[in-house]
Amino acid sequence: MPEAAVRPPLVDLANLRRAALGLEGVAVRTPLIPLEALSRRVGVPVRLKAEFLQPIGAFKIRGAWTAIARLEPSVRARGIVTHSSGNHAQAVAFAGKRFGVRTVIVMPKDSPAVKVAGVKSHGAEIVFVERHERVKVCADIAEREGLVLIPPYEHADVIAGQGTLTLEILQEWPDVRALLVQVGGGGLLAGAAAAIAATGADVDLVAVEPEHAAKAAAALRAGAPVTLEAPTSVADGLIPPSVGRLPFEVFRDAVREAVQVSDADIGAAVKHLHEEAGLRVEPSGAASVAALLAGRYRPKGPVAVIASGGNVDDAVFARFIAG
């Protein structure tokens, strides 16, 4: 019997390196910051990838820019549209402005004010909808107006762009033995899985998600993405109802385990990062730190965590800091 054909990876090393080159002069090669207090607490070195230093305050610039930059100019000129609660929205708006094309963002009505303001600052058009309507409304606009849809995570070029983050970690810190990645739609996790596989790094990949939005764990148990009925969390960027089909195919065999954190854990992590390291990180961005701080994951060696974003309303941040 002939051997089954081996499918090439969706995102290989050459693709990741090309994405990294394409981000030069656009995204920041963010530092890995040692977290001394957390390192003492868990007994191993912990470093934080500071993606809140990106131009739009979050890692999403990597994937959005990569996908939009790779469009044929004539296609890109038609204009672009996406749906997002905030950080991907800002990234697409930023890229649209830089490329000089019309940009439409479909956002839930309850999106954080700071993220809505960020989108507006780049001149994008915003269509507000109920959270459960955003995917359909976005698709309808794309079809009706001939715009190019740049989804938040269900796109190979978006995944390649997000993978550059982990590629930087592996290049800068070859001693790292575990990487904790928070999960929204799974694009960041898929990018991490692609980078680890492409480089052959000996690194445990751990998914971190809110306990009431545990879609990665559900997908891994079921062997396919599962739609949650009503995911909730203080981390607004981590509550899509399911992980994407493409991201799941990339990360399904790479994730060592999926751990859940409570809203209280996330709030404590936001406060810890502010008090111990002087950092302003949004709840979604603090989730992987929360997993260590709350003991949801116990590392056996040097571990990297990702502060995926820092876009948080002043009142929300103040509430966490006072908590």
The domains of the chain, with CATH numbers, are 13-59+155-322 (3.40.50.1100), 60-149 (3.40.50.1100)
Q: Judge whether 60 counts as a catalytic residue.
A: yes
- Residue 10 is predicted with a pLDDT of 86
Task: Point out the catalytic residue in the list 60, 115, 215, 271.
Answer: 60
Distance from C-alpha of 9 to C-alpha of 6, rounded to nearest angstrom? 9
Q: What is the model's pTM?
A: 0.94
Rounded to 5 degrees, φ, ψ at 234 are -70, -15
pLDDT of residue 306: 97
What phi, psi does 193 have (nearest 5°)? -60, -40
Active-site residue (options: 85, 233, 284, 308): 308
- Three-state SS sequence of the chain: CCCCCCCCCCCCHHHHHHHHHHCCCCCCCCCEEECHHHHHHHCCCEEEEEHHHCCCCECHHHHHHHHHHCCCHHHHCCCEEEECCCHHHHHHHHHHHHHCCCEEEEEECCCCHHHHHHHHHCCCEEEEECHHHHHHHHHHHHHHHCCEECCCCCCHHHHHHHHHHHHHHHHHCCCCCEEEEECCCCHHHHHHHHHHHHHCCCCEEEEEEECCCCHHHHHHHHCCCCCCCCCCCCCHHHCCCCCCHHHHHHHCCCEEEEEEECHHHHHHHHHHHHHHHCCCCCCHHHHHHHHHHCCCCCCCCCEEEEECECCCCHHHHHHHHHC
Among 87, 72, 55, 198, residue whose Cα is nearest residue 153: 87
Contact 162/63 with Cβ under 8 angstroms?
yes
49 is catalytic: no
pLDDT in the model for residue 3: 46
Report pLDDT for 2.
44
Specify the pLDDT at position 107.
Answer: 93
| Average predicted confidence (pLDDT) for the chain | 94
Write the CB contacts of 283 (distance below 8 Å, at least 6 apart in sequence): 233, 234, 235, 236, 266, 267, 270, 312, 316, 320
The pLDDT averaged over each successive group of 10 residues in the chain (323 residues) is 58 96 97 97 98 96 97 97 92 97 94 91 95 91 96 96 98 98 96 97 97 97 95 93 96 96 97 96 96 96 96 91 84
